[in-house]
Amino acid sequence: MTKEIMNELGQTEKEFLNAYNTEKYNATKFSVTSDCLIFTVENADGKEESIDLDDKRLKIALIQRANHPHIDKWALPGGFVNKGRETSLEAAKRELGEETEISGIYLEQLYTLDDIERDQRDHIISVSYMSLVDKIEKELRAGSDAKKAEWFEVERKVTQINKSIIENGFIREKFIDIVLIKEDIKIISKIKEVTAVKNRARRTKLELVNRGGLAFDHAIVINLALDRIKNKVEYTDIMFNLLPEYFTIAEAYKVYQLTTNKNDTVQNFRKKFKNVRKMIIETDKTTKKYSPRPAKLYKLNIHWDDHEG
Amino acid sequence: MTKEIMNELGQTEKEFLNAYNTEKYNATKFSVTSDCLIFTVENADGKEESIDLDDKRLKIALIQRANHPHIDKWALPGGFVNKGRETSLEAAKRELGEETEISGIYLEQLYTLDDIERDQRDHIISVSYMSLVDKIEKELRAGSDAKKAEWFEVERKVTQINKSIIENGFIREKFIDIVLIKEDIKIISKIKEVTAVKNRARRTKLELVNRGGLAFDHAIVINLALDRIKNKVEYTDIMFNLLPEYFTIAEAYKVYQLTTNKNDTVQNFRKKFKNVRKMIIETDKTTKKYSPRPAKLYKLNIHWDDHEG
DNA sequence: TCAATAGTGTCTATTAGACAGTATACC
DNA sequence: GGTATACTGTCTAATAGACACTATTGA
C-alpha cells in the first residue's frame, strides 16, 4: 500500500490528511449548483383533450426566481449542492423531486458552466443535468425559491450565419434564438455559436448575446441540451422517455419530429424504428383516439440493442 | 430592468448583492480541480523510427503524483481551478501548457466527477477535459506536483458481462479493465458499468472496482473519454487532431482503427472518408516511408461539413 | 358509399462492406 | 522478373427516403 510512502515534507498519508485543513483554502472555494433541464412533450395548451398531433410541443420546465439575482426572471430549477452530503446528481434528483412528481425518470449529466461572471454573487459553478419525462409524471410545483413553475414551449431559431474566410480556415458565427413560450409569456434569449477553424484546429464557443427574460447563462445549456437530444434520438432510445408506455407510431413520429426537426414520413419512421432497428414492438392494445381505424399501440423493445453486448 | 424589484426581505438587487457574504457559506464550498485527458497516437516505443504502422498505439499522458493522497500513483495531469480568476477550461489550458508544449490543440469538456468519497482530503469536484494532440507538439514535462510525466499506451478490455433478467427489464454488469502500459509499468484499473433497464427507464452507472495503480477515480473518466472518441470519430473530424497535417491514407486508417477498434479495410476507409464524405483531400506531396511506391499525402478538408451551415 | 387515419409494399439512390484486380515504385 | 504497398473498381447487402397503394373503422 501507499501508506508508508512519505511526501517531500516527510509526511505519511495519514499525517498528511490529518494536517490537511479544508478551511485554509476557503477563499479559493466554489459554491456549486445543480441545475435541471426537464423536457416533456405535451399539447400546446397543456391539456389532455386535443386529438390533433400538431398541437404537440417540446416543453421545458422553468421556475420564476423569487430572489436576486435575476429576480422575477425565469430560470432552470436547481439549487446548491450540499457538500459532503450529496453529489450533483443526487442534488438534481432532489430538485426534480421538489419541483415535480417523479420517480425513475431519465437523467444524464449535460455540462458544467463556470464562467467567472456568470453569477453576480460570486464565481459559482453550475453542473447541469438533462431529464426527459412523459406526461404522466409532470405536475410542476414551485420550490421555496420560486414564485412559479411552468412548462414552456421551447424552440430554437437560427437567425443569422456569418462566415468569413481566413488564411487556412474560416470563422463562422451562428446567431441562435432560444424561444420559450407559455401562454402570454414569450422569452427570447439570444446566443452566438462561434466556430473558428484554422488548419486542423476547430474550436467552437457558445456566447450569451442577450439573455432576455431567462436568468444567468441558462440559454447556453438549453441549446446544448437540444443538440444532445437531437443526436441521441438518432441512435439511442431516449425519445421513448418522452412518450407514455404505450403509444401509436404517429405519436412516436411526432416526438421524433419535435426533437430532431426532421421531416421524413411516418411510413419511413415506422420502417426504421420497427422493422429495421426493432426498437418498438406491437402490443395487443389499440386506440381509436386519432382515427376511425384503430391504431395499434406499441411499446419500447428494451432488448433492441442486445447485439451491443 | 430588474433593479427596482424587491425580494422578500425588501432588498433591491444592489442591496442584496452588497449583503451577500461569500464567506458565510464556506463550510458548504468545494475545491474544484480541472483534469486533462491528453491523447495522442505514436509508436509503442515512443520513437519516430519505426515504419511499421502496427507499432502505433493510442496513448494518454499521465503524471506520477509527488504528494498524498495517492502518492506515487499515476494520475491525469490537472490542478485546482483559481476561483474568480479562471474557468476550468482556462485551468485545463494552463495545465496543458505546463505539462506539454502545445498550442491550439483540440480540447472539449468531458465530464464532471463529484462523488463524495472520491478524494480523501475533502469533497472535491473534478471537471475533466479531453484533448487530442499529434506528435509534433507532445513533449511532456512533469509539473511541480509530479515526479514524472509519461505517455502510456491505453487499452480497454471487457473481462465479463453478466445479464440478469428482472420483471419488465434486466440488469447488465459489464466489467472493464482500463490497461495502461509504459515500458515495464503496467497499470490495470478495474471498473464496472451497470445498466439497469426496467420498463422504459434505462440507467447506466460507472463504478470503480479496483483503481490499481491509477489515482482517484480517473479510470472512470478515461473510460468515458474512450467512448466519446469512438463515437465522435464516426461522425466528426476529431481523429485528424491525432495525425500530422499531412498524412497517408494508411496512417489515417490506423488511427481510425486504434480509436474505434473496428476492422474494416483500408480500401473502404479511403472510399468513405475521401470519396463519400470528402473529409480528406489530396496534396501534391508524397512519401516513400512505407512502400516503394510513393503514397500521396492527404490533409483534412476543413470545409467537408459545409452543407451543415 | 366516403372520410380519415393506419399500415404495407415498391422503387431508387446511397452507403457499408468484402474483395478482386491494377499501379508504381525498388530490388 | 518479384515484392511491397498504393490505389481503383466491382459486386452485394443494407439502409434511407420518396411515395403509391391497401386496410379498417365510423358515419
pLDDT, residue B1, reads: 46
B170 pLDDT more than 80: yes
| Distance from residue A293's CA to nucleotide C5's C1', rounded to whole Å | 7
Cα(B88)–Cα(B129) distance, integer angstroms: 9
Q: Is residue A232 helix, strand or coil?
A: helix
Of residues 234 to 293 in chain B, which lie within 7 A of strand C by their beta carbon? Answer: 264-265, 267-268, 271-272, 276, 288, 292-293
CA R_g for chain B = 23
Cα(B39)–Cα(B129) distance, integer angstroms: 11
Cell of A138: 409532470
pLDDT digits (tens, 9 = 90+) for B240-256: 999 999 999 999 999 99
Q: Does the C-beta of A248 come within 7 A of strand C?
A: yes
Cα B291 → chain centroid: 33
Amino acid occupying residue B94? R
pLDDT, residue A123, reads: 92
**Residue spans in chain A of domains classed CATH 3.90.79.10:** 29-233
Whether A224 contacts A110, CB under 8 Å: yes
Across the interface, which of B68, B125, B243 has its CB nearest the CB of A11? B68
pLDDT, residue A2, reads: 42
Map grid coordinates 501534391 to a residue.
Answer: B284
Cα(B273)–Cα(B291) distance, integer angstroms: 22
A29 pLDDT more than 50: yes
pLDDT digits (tens, 9 = 90+) for A203-241: 999 999 999 999 999 999 999 999 999 999 999 999 999
Interface contact flag, B120 A2, Cβ < 8 Å: no
Q: Does the C-beta of A302 come within 7 A of strand D?
A: no
Task: List A111's β-bridge partners, or say none.
Answer: A128
Residues A258-283, mean pLDDT to the nearest whole number: 96
Domain B238-300 has CATH 1.10.10.10: yes
pLDDT digits (tens, 9 = 90+) for B87-111: 999 999 998 887 665 556 899 999 9
Phi/psi zone of residue A11: left (φ > 0), alpha (ψ -120 to 50 degrees), beta? beta
Whether A243 contacts A252, CB under 8 Å: yes
Q: What is the DSSP string of chain B?
A: -GGG---TTS--HHHHHHH--GGGGGGG-BEEEEEEEEEEEEETTS-S----GGGEEEEEEEEEE-SSSSTTSEE--EEE--TTT--HHHHHHHHHHHHB--SS-EEEEEEEE--TTSSSSS-EEEEEEEEE--GGG--B---TTEEEEEEEEEEEEEEEEEEEEETTEEEEEEEEEEEEEETTEEEEEEEEEEEEEETTEEEEEEEEEE-TTB-TTHHHHHHHHHHHHHHHHHHSSGGGGGS-SSB-HHHHHHHHHHHH-----HHHHHIIIIIIS--EEEEEEEE-SS-SSPEEEEEE-TTTTGGG-
pLDDT, residue B26, reads: 67
Across the interface, which of B8, B31, B203 has its CB nearest the CB of A66? B8
A90 pLDDT more than 50: yes
pLDDT, residue B281, reads: 96
B274 pLDDT more than 60: yes
Interface contact flag, B199 A241, Cβ < 8 Å: no
**Choice between A49 and A149, residue whose per-residue pLDDT is larger:** A149
**Residue spans in chain A of domains classed CATH 1.10.10.10:** 238-300
**Cβ-based neighbours of B203, under 8 Å, separated by 6 or more:** A107, B195, B196, B197
Cα B25 → chain centroid: 33
Of residues 227 to 246 in chain B, which lie within 7 A of strand D by their beta carbon? Answer: none
CA neighbor of A248 nearest in space, from A285, A304, A296, A281: A296
pLDDT, residue B2, reads: 42
Cα(B247)–Cα(B300) distance, integer angstroms: 9
pLDDT digits (tens, 9 = 90+) for B105-159: 899 999 999 999 999 888 999 999 999 998 766 677 777 788 899 999 999 999 9
pLDDT, residue A1, reads: 46
Q: Report phi then psi at B245, rounded to 5.
A: -60, -40
| Distance from residue B43's CA to nucleotide C24's C1', rounded to whole Å | 27
A22 pLDDT more than 80: no
B83 pLDDT more than 60: yes
A150 pLDDT more than 60: yes
Whether B80 contacts B95, CB under 8 Å: no
Q: Report phi then psi at B57, rounded to 5.
A: -135, 150
Task: List B286's β-bridge partners, or say none.
Answer: B296
Cα(A60)–Cα(A131) distance, integer angstroms: 10
A173 pLDDT more than 50: yes
Across the interface, which of A125, A198, A299 has its CB nearest the CB of B32? A125
Cα(A214)–Cα(B247) distance, integer angstroms: 47
**Choice between A130 and A306, residue whose per-residue pLDDT is larger:** A130
Look at A26-35, A267-276, B13-22 and tell me which has the smallest mean pLDDT: B13-22
Q: How far apart are the first and last CA of chain B?
A: 35
Closest residue on chain A to B104 (Cα): A201
pLDDT, residue A52, reads: 94
Instruction: Assign a CATH topology to domain A29-233.
Output: Nucleoside Triphosphate Pyrophosphohydrolase (3.90.79)
Please indicate if any CB of chain B lies within 8 Å of the CB of A160.
no
Look at A150-154, B134-138, B195-199, B257-261 and tell me which has the smallest mean pLDDT: B134-138
Confidence of residue B231 (pLDDT cuts 50, 70, 90): very high
Q: Is residue A187 helix, strand or coil?
A: strand
Cα(A17)–Cα(A286) distance, integer angstroms: 63
pLDDT digits (tens, 9 = 90+) for B29-69: 999 999 999 999 999 999 888 889 999 999 999 999 998 89
Residues B177-185, mean pLDDT to the nearest whole number: 97
